[in-house]
Amino acid sequence: MKLAKFTKFREEKFGGVLFETRAEKVFTLNPTATAVVREIQRGSDMPLLLEHLRERFEDRGTLEPEALAFIAELRSQGLLEE
């Protein structure tokens, strides 16, 4: 799993942005979403990604399903590739 060829990621004070340069669409990300994308960029697999998220954010049992849903959304938007 990695960012798609035409997707650029930049960290910002508020979190981050994904810029899909073919469709010229911008997606703004909060800190948690930014952390997910950062892990994807680092090449972390899902267990490692979740481990790092739990180290950084409080988990009330929703972190994993929300992270999975977010990743599925990134895929559906064409922002991720295998």
Partner 1 sequence: MSQASSSSQAESPPVSQAQSPQAPSPSVSDSAADLDAPLYIAWQLTNECNLACLHCIEESGPGKAFADELDRTQIFAILAQCTSLQVPYLSLSGGEPMLHPLFFEMSAYLCASGTQLKIETNAHCLDAARCERLAELGVKAVQVSLDGATAATYNRMRARGDFAQALAGIRLLRSAGVPVEINFSPTRFNVHEIEAVIDLASELGAYSFYTGRTMYTGNAVKTWHLLAPSEEQYRSFFAALHAKSAQYRGRMRVYFHEQGLLEELRYRLRHPAALLIVLPNGLVKLINALPFVCGDLRHQSLTEVWSHFRRAWADQRVAQFVEQLAADPRRTAALHRWVYL
Cα gap 3→14, rounded to integer Å: 20
Regarding 10 and contact with partner 1 (CB under 8 A), the answer is yes
Nearest-10 Cα torsion for 23, 3, 34, 71? 90
Decide if residue 78 touches partner 1 (CB under 8 A): no
Tell me if 46 contacts partner 1 by CB under 8 A: no
| The residue type at 77 | Q
Rule CB under 8 A: is residue 15 a binding residue for partner 1?
yes
Residue 32 binding partner 1, by CB under 8 A? yes
Q: Say how far apart CA 54 and CA 7 lie, in whole Å.
A: 26
Residue numbers of the site for partner 1 (CB under 8 A)? 6, 8, 10, 12-15, 17, 19, 21-33, 36, 53, 57, 62-63, 66-67, 69-70, 73-74, 77, 79
